[in-house]
Amino acid sequence: MRGSNRTSAFQLISLLGLLVFLASGCRFEQAGSTKKSADVARTFEALQAVPGYRYYYLNQENEPYGVAGLSGRFWIKDPAWRELDPGSPTFEKVVELVKRFPVPGSYTEGFVILDPRKNEIGVWYSSLGAGITVAPDTRQVMITTATPWLGR
């Protein structure tokens, strides 16, 4: 009887482990990435926008931590992000603040945002590193960073 309980417990633990592995594998299929790009940095520093991209900034207008531009097919929906018109004075203000006030111990850089298949889908300008997740069915992009405005 005791051996039977151990076998059942082992099978249950193995099954749970397999489910966790499979679930994490599905998540990896949605993982995008960033690639450092001096060209992207220069474009932001010249206050230029990529035609056809939608722009967003992270955190508040007076304390932004990054600016992202995404190909028109992709979008961000997250309370920490605000959409931004690249032809507006706010665009210039936000980019300048991101450039002049990097997080302590870092410096502002430009990056290309890549989808899980390594296709370019956007640009990122920040002193924070970013994790990229792309929902393939909706093309919603989630950009995950440290949260210095929360003390983390």
pLDDT of residue 25: 44
Per domain, the residue ranges of the chain are 1-30, 32-150
Residue 53: burial class (beta carbons within 10 Å; 0-12, 13-18, 19+) = middle
All residues at 6 or more sequence positions from 149 whose CB lies less than 8 Å from its CB, including other chains: 59, 60, 63, 65
pLDDT of residue 145: 87
pLDDT tens track of the chain, all 152 residues?
Answer: 455 555 555 455 544 444 444 444 444 468 899 999 999 999 999 999 999 999 999 999 999 999 999 998 999 999 999 999 999 999 999 999 999 999 998 999 999 999 999 999 999 999 999 999 999 889 999 998 887 766 65
pLDDT of residue 146: 80
pLDDT of residue 29: 60
C-alpha pair distances (Å), 133 with each of 27, 29, 139, 144, 146: 8, 9, 10, 8, 15
